[in-house]
Amino acid sequence: MIKSPTNLKRVLMAPGPSDVEPRVLEALSRPTVGHLDPAFMQILHDIRELLQYTFQTRNELTLTMSGSGSAGMEACVVNLIEPGDPMLVCVNGVFSRRMADVAQRCGADVSIIEVEWGKVFLPEQIESALEKKPAKVVGVVHAETSTGAGQPIEEISRIVHEHGALLLVDAVASLAGMNVDVDGWQIDACYSGSQKCISCPPGLAPVTFSDAAIEVVENRKTKIQSFYLDLSVIREYWGTQHRYHHTAPINMSYALLEALRVVKEEGLENRWARHLANHKILRAGLTAIGIDYITQPGYELPMVNAVAVPAGIDDAAVRSQLLSEFNIEIAGGLGDFKGKAWRIGLMGFSSTLSNVMLFLSALEKCLADQGAKFERGASIAAAAHTASQMA
């Protein structure tokens, strides 16, 4: 019988999960208490406060859903959408497409506008769509993990609210890695995941809802489709009543609390700056050996570096060699980019200069083994030069 490996140590440089700090793993191992224990209620209170800090919001309805980022997506959609409600979804990758799918499953009258993968939407495209057909909710992905594209939100938010709609934003990849200003951008519902730039193990989905979104939830004519994701009850568990709904993931909550403390200690602006700096250093190294980004110029994410696989290089073989020889995990392309792209994550605890330099040296070895022609050591030299200039 082959035993499953449980002591692997990988360098996680895919678009999630990210490496987890030892103090967060230690928190995960603390003794479990009951989900209605007063001490655990205090932990939920502290998580809410730190999530409000991280989301940059005063929204009272800020909490975690038990599940991955997709649970956060579904929670937002099923609570805001009733059968027949019009919803506009801006699709430019896998996860925006998933949002449209979730909305259709809720019975929404879904309209879709699309742009080419790797590109972002212009505000006038969304305005034109809303002029043709009004929507109750407009869904946008802030950081499209499948393409490495970062969507500007502020002007879109203004247009959405001028047309009387609610703005729903996917911040799964971006929260704690770049600016996500829920109150400043007037986002009505926003969701994320614990395992990306927050650097907690997967399993919790932070969400936050504005007063306008809460009003929609409270004035529904139909029952919320999902019992498990019903915020009208879950908010009472997180509130002063502590009404039982389901058994919360106790130890995951310990870990998230500790990970959010790390975020607060570093400071949001410092954390954003670290992610951006390491992105620039990586980019300099990749450019030096002829590897190009596939994302629309000027909109590349600092935490998800989506680059084109060089001509003549076996995508899967490189990823396999990185994993087997160097214990480095990166991701291949999805959807339209399958077999054509690598997605290199620099998220949370994984976003370090040492990881960048390790990856570049390993990648050069993999490319050379396939006969690629480039100046050996060029990526390391370029990255080191960029890092020294930024120091």
Residues 91 and 113: beta-carbon distance below 8 Å: yes
Q: What is the pLDDT of residue 3?
A: 63
Closest listed residue to residue 257, CA positions, set 93, 107, 92, 39? 39
Closest CA to 295 of 172, 119, 143, 146: 119
pLDDT one-digit tens code per residue, 319-340: 999 999 999 999 999 998 999 9
Q: Locate 391 and state its tokens.
A: 């120091």
- Position 40 pLDDT exceeds 70: yes
Left if phi > 0, otherwise alpha if psi is -120 to 50, otherwise beta: which for 377?
left
pLDDT at 2 over 90: no
Write the burial class of residue 170 (CB in 10 Å: 0-12 exposed, 13-18 middle, 19+ buried).
buried
H helical segments located in the chain: 22-28, 38-55, 69-80, 94-105, 123-132, 154-162, 211-218, 231-238, 250-266, 268-288, 315-326, 353-369, 378-390
Domain ranges, ordered by start, for the chain: 22-265, 268-390
Q: Residue 191 has which token pair? A: 């969701």
| CATH, domain 268-390, list 1.10.10.10, 3.90.1150.10, 3.40.50.620, 3.30.559.10 | 3.90.1150.10
Over range 24-37, report the average pLDDT: 96
Q: Give the pLDDT band (50/70/90) at residue 279.
A: very high
Domains 22-265 and 268-390 share a fold: no
CA proximity to 196, closest of 78, 285, 275: 275
Mean pLDDT for 220-247 is 91
pLDDT of residue 8: 83
Residue 283 has pLDDT above 90, yes or no: yes
Q: Would you say 180 and 303 are in contact if contact means Cβ atoms under 8 Å apart?
A: no
The CATH number given to 22-265 is 3.40.640.10
